[in-house]
Each structure stands twice: as C-alpha cells, then as structure tokens.
C-alpha cells in the first residue's frame, strides 16, 4: 500500500468507533468496504460512498487491509475465524478492537496458524479523535510488514506507538484503560468532594485546565459532569468490559488490584442506569452513606 487511492480498507464492525474510523478514512480518500452485524450501522457510510458488504466474507474480496472493530474477542473470533481459510495472502488483518491479553494471544495464534498477517493495534481515544484522525494507535506486529499498514495508521492517528510483537498492543491498551477509567472515577468523586466542602467545582476545574495536574481529556470529562451531558465517546458498558479484562490478568497472575476492585464496583453501579452513556456518567451516582454505629 503506497497511497490512499490504491488502498481499499475493509471494516468488520461499524459501531461507534468503527464508523468514526471509517468516516475518517473516507475523508482521507481511502476506498472503504464495510460490514456490520447490524446492517443499519453501515448505512451512513454508504451515503458517504462506502461500499456495503452483504456478508463478512465479501469484505475480503477487494480489501487490502481488513480492520476488525468489534466489542469483544469472542465476537471477533466468531466473525473472523470462518473467513481465515479464504483470506487473501496479500491482505493484512488489523485487529483494532479492545481485547484482553490472553484474548489477543489467541487471535494471534489463530491468524498465524492460517498464515494470515495480523497486527494487534488497539486505539487510545474516543469517537471525536477518531473522526479527526487524532487517535493514538498502540501497534504491535511483524516488523517486516509495517510498510503495508503505515498509510492506514497515518490517516487514523496522530501518534503510532510500536510496542513489539502482536499482543503487546492489547496489553498496553489494558494498562492505559485501567489508568484512564480510574482517573475519571476519581475526578467524579473529587467533584462531589468539592460540593461537600462548599468549594465551587469550577475552582477545581480551573486548577486542572492547562495546569500541570490536568489533562485535556480530564478537563473534557469534568465539563460533561458539570453539564450532566454524556455523549458516548466511551460507554460505561465498555469501560466495565475492559476493567473485567484487567481483573482477568490480575486473577491469572495470582494478585489483587485493590484500586481496580473499587473502580469496577463503582462503574458496575453506573452501568445499571447509564450503560450507553459516556463513562463520565459515573458522576451521576450518589455517594454511599456511611453506616452509623
């Protein structure tokens, strides 16, 4: 792949993130062929000029890179494994969904067994950065084939961090999401703390905005909490899924992650009423009352 005009990119999965990434590639002049388990998810892309595939197998016939952006490793495997025997030798598989460490290894093993070139390359960033080409791509895979995927990565991301062999990208994504979700939960609790102390929340927001303690992402989440508006850049249900994957790593390693347990409990409570809202909606939970003795 040497230029967008010469590259047709296939998408298996066009939910929130898959659709945003596909729109970005269309904006950058790439041809796109897309399929989703829910056909209505593909229609907005069709209106932009993307080709709609009637089946997952149809995506393979004309794509030189196929991106999977599906909710879990189990779904990825269910969709892709039946296709691997017919997978064109020159077509690379860009596995960009958020999956666990062991799950990434399983997908890599399945691809290797069938002779398919796989890059494990989840992304850091939500739907708006995806539409703007501002994702960070946590790329891992064979060095010899990097040239095949670099044009696609360059269109989707402002930063590509290479972290070794396939599977390492998913490990870095778990670490990043563990930190990010815990940060949002801490921000929500701190906003409540400001209220308890009679301190205006804006003083805390101003401290973080542009200061050394802040981040643009954190300030964005604080704004959502202040407005009580939570467009689903990263839904609570997916945050819970990723935290469960982190717990899986801890369990298999025979250790406890106390902070993880606390954040997972809090996000799990938020999922009951805010599953499809952005994870900043954890702010809407009331603080538990301390039992009186």
pLDDT at 1: 43
pLDDT at 4: 64
pLDDT at 2: 45
Contacts made by residues 177-181, CB under 8 angstroms, sequence distance 24+:
177/98, 177/239, 177/242, 177/243, 177/246, 178/242, 178/243, 178/246, 178/260, 180/217, 181/239, 181/242, 181/243, 181/263, 181/267, 181/279
pLDDT at 68: 98
pLDDT at 3: 55
Q: Which domains does the chain have, with CATH numbers?
A: 4-165 (3.40.50.720), 171-284 (1.10.1040.10)
DSSP secondary structure string for all residues of 130-161: HHHT-EEEEEBS-GGGHHHHHHHHHHHEEEEE
Question: Beta strand 92-95 with 31-35: parallel, antiparallel or unpaired?
Answer: unpaired
As a 3-state breakdown, the chain gives helix, strand, coil percent values, each rounded to 5, of 55, 15, 30
- 106: helix, strand or coil: helix
| Cut 0.85: pTM above it | yes
204: Cβ–Cβ under 8 A, 6 or more apart, which residues?
190, 191, 194, 222
Q: What is the pLDDT along the chain (293 residues), one digit of tens a residue?
A: 445 656 799 999 999 899 999 999 999 999 999 999 999 999 999 999 999 999 999 999 879 999 999 999 999 999 999 999 999 999 999 999 999 999 999 999 999 999 999 999 999 988 889 999 999 999 999 999 999 999 999 999 999 999 999 999 999 999 999 999 999 999 999 999 999 999 999 999 999 999 999 889 999 999 999 999 999 889 999 999 999 999 999 999 999 999 999 999 999 999 999 999 999 999 999 999 887 76
pLDDT at 291: 78
Q: Which of 32, 13, 19, 140 is nearest to 77 (CA)?
A: 13
Tokens, residue 121: 């390359």
């Amino acid at each position: 792949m040497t230029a967008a005009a010469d590259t047709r990119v296939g998408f298996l999965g066009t939910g929130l993130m898959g659709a945003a990434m596909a729109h970005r590639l269309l904006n950058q002049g790439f041809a796109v062929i897309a399929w989703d388990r829910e056909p209505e998810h593909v229609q907005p892309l069709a209106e932009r000029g993307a080709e709609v595939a009637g089946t997952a197998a149809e995506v393979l016939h004309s794509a030189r890179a196929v991106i999977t952006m599906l909710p879990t490793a189990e779904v990825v495997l269910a969709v892709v494994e039946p296709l691997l025997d017919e997978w064109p030798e020159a077509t690379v598989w860009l596995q960009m969904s958020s999956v666990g460490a062991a799950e990434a290894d399983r997908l890599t093993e399945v691809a290797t067994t069938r002779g398919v070139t796989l890059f494990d390359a989840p992304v850091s960033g939500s739907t708006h950065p995806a539409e703007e080409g501002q994702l960070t791509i946590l790329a891992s895979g064979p060095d010899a084939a990097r040239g095949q995927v670099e044009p696609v990565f360059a269109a989707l991301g402002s930063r590509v961090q290479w972290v070794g062999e396939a599977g390492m990208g998913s490990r870095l994504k778990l670490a990043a999401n563990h930190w990010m979700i815990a940060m949002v939960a801490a921000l929500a609790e701190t906003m409540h703390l400001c209220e308890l102390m009679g301190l205006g929340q804006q003083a805390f927001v101003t401290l973080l905005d542009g200061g050394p303690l802040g981040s643009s992402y954190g300030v964005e989440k604080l704004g959502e909490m202040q407005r009580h508006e939570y467009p689903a850049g990263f839904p609570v249900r997916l945050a819970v899924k990723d935290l469960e994957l982190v717990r899986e790593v801890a369990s298999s390693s025979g250790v406890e992650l106390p902070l993880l347990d606390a954040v997972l409990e809090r996000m799990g409570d938020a999922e009951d009423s805010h599953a499809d809202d952005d994870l900043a909606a954890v702010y809407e939970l009331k603080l538990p009352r301390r039992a009186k003795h």
